Structure 1
């Protein structure tokens, strides 16, 4: 009997040690396609307008985790694919956080993306936690730049012009600070679009690193 008890205690000890090792390894695990900033980056105030015609400023970030990316509704590929992927994984990502998780689609093409156009575009994805917004370039450019993203308009006079823009997704914490960047895989011959499954795998690792400080 004592021998069996010894085996049981040894097994329990090994299990506990394995659990501690797993927890430590998870804390030290590095996300594959995400960059966590050494220090949270405070965002200056900004003034945008959402798809419902309501003002959006820094206070709208408070109390939520926010995944933000830039694009435009006439984008033929990266934007609809990215928005579809983010809308699809939003419930799974939100389950990992105590605070709500929102997705911001920031249109950098205010000339064509009216409030009505934005509303129609975002509503197509049928996800209440996805919000579209835009503004004049005087507001958009500094806001996008402080998110660590970019966009560029061509000088063409054609109506069907393309807009060059980042494909990465910025993560903002409930204090309104930029804390991480999720990047798309870069493979020759393929569109740089966020990998939904990799985002799901990286997201808890990012949260662990942020908690560890």
Structure 2
């Protein structure tokens, strides 16, 4: 076997996995992501909102909706995101548009009762706090495919690590797109106005 033949065989052997990788990232993975997004937020969770209404899969229907998962003892991400949401709502009101219906779902129900989460989010117009049992919160975390994990601290206390994006849903309860943590105002407002115009 000549060196040239061996080189061709090796090149061919390397090309096949490369082509499979390209096919995965350009054809198969996006399709799987789209299929997963179709079911985002769908599930049998049953939580309680600070508005006195249940928060279930059906809650996402009827109007464009934003959903954020966080917790009241959050040191940075949650207060920053609530500040962003307050800014978005102000932009909408100033333009004569309806506010965006928004839900803040706790990932720490052991500490965040409905009353506590209500106090925590009460300063932001249009935001409803959501809590429930650990079991039902875990169902919601799985349904929305967000990340949440308890992180022990010194002295026996703990904090929560969690996803930091806001999820937008259309008025049929279908996932639209996320708003990244601290996304630029112009970009976030463009997404919000697109989902509200559907």
TM-score (normalised: structure 1): 0.64
Distance 2:44 2:92 in 1: 26
From 141, 145, 154, the counterpart of 2:151: 154
Counterpart for residue 18 of structure 1:
none
Q: Deviations over 1:154-202 (max 9, x none)?
A: 3568564210000111111111222212223xxxxxxxx3433331134
Number of matched pairs: 162
Q: 1:196 to 1:45 in 2, by over 3 A?
A: farther
Seen in structure 2, the aligned counterparts of structure 1 residues 44 and 199 have a Cα distance that, compared at 3 Å, is same
Which residue is equivalent to 1:70?
Answer: 69
Instruction: Provide closer, same or farther for how the CA distance between residues 70 and 94 of structure 1 changes in structure 2, counting only shifts above 3 A.
Output: farther
Q: 1:41 aligns with which of 16, 38, 42?
A: 38
- Structure 1: distance between partners of 2:108 and 2:154: 14
Structure 1 CA distance for aligned equivalents of residues 150 and 158 of structure 2: 8
- Whether contact under 8 Å (1:90, 1:101) holds in the other structure is yes
Q: 1:140 aligns with which of 137, 159, 165?
A: 137
| Counterpart in the other structure of 1:115 | 114
How far apart are residue 142 of structure 1 and its match? 2.8
Contact 1:151-1:164 within 8 A present in 2 as well: yes
Distance in 2 (alpha carbons) for counterparts of 1:180 and 1:160: 35
Structure 1 residues 42-64: Cα deviation after superposition (integer angstroms, max 9, x where no partner): 31232011124542222222211
Specify the SS of the correspondent of 1:162: strand
Query: Relative to structure 2, which stretch is displaced further, 106-115 or 141-150?
Result: 141-150
Give the CA deviation at 1:93: 5.0
Query: Bigger relative contact order, structure 1 or 2, given CA contacts below 8 A and separation 6+?
Result: 1
Secondary structure of the corresponding residue to residue 158 of structure 2:
coil
Note the aligned Cα RMSD (angstroms): 3.0
**Greater helix share, structure number:** 2
Give, in whole Å, the separation in 2 of the partners of 1:94 and 1:145.
Answer: 33
SS of alignment partner, residue 103 of structure 2: strand
Cα 1:119–1:112 change in 2 (3 A) is: same
> Which residue in the other structure is 1:198 paired with?
187
Moved over 6 A (4+): none
* Contact 2:168–2:195 (Cα < 8 Å) also in 1: no
CA distance in 1, matches of 2:156, 2:85: 29
Where structure 1 has 5 or more consecutive residues not aligned to the other structure, the ranges are 1-36, 185-192
Name the TM-score, length of structure 2 as normaliser.
Answer: 0.68
Distance 1:207 1:173, change over 3 A: closer
Per-residue CA distance 1:22-69 (angstroms, 9 max, x = gap) = xxxxxxxxxxxxxxx746613123201112454222222221111111
CA distance 1:91–1:134, shift in 2 (3 Å): same
